[in-house]
Amino acid sequence: MPKPVRSLLILLALAAGLSGCGTVNEKLSASMGEYVPQWAGGLPADAPPRAGTPQYDAYMKERERKRLLPAADREKEEQAQKGATGSAPGNAVR
């Protein structure tokens, strides 16, 4: 087999292999992010649940409820939640 033809076949094989990796990674990345720790690039702790799950529906209902609250009530609720968790601004962990 002539050298240019062999080089072309190798190049085509590499291109096909790399394109296959792209489709596999696209499908895996949709769910693998949930299992990767945050420090390694996984989902952050405050990420909303995935769409289509019961937790997502509850999350969206709560979000809509908070959106419809008047601003003063919303601020009071946020302060009450911060007080319940014990996260005061001066108590940050370093």
Give the pLDDT of residue 87: 53
State the burial class of residue 59 (Cβ atoms within 10 Å of its Cβ: 0-12, 13-18, 19+).
middle
What does pTM read for this prediction?
0.47
pLDDT of residue 94: 44
Q: Which residues of the chain have pLDDT under 70?
A: 19-33, 85-94
Residue with the two structure tokens 């919303």: 74
Residue 5 CA to residue 15 CA, distance in Å, equals 15
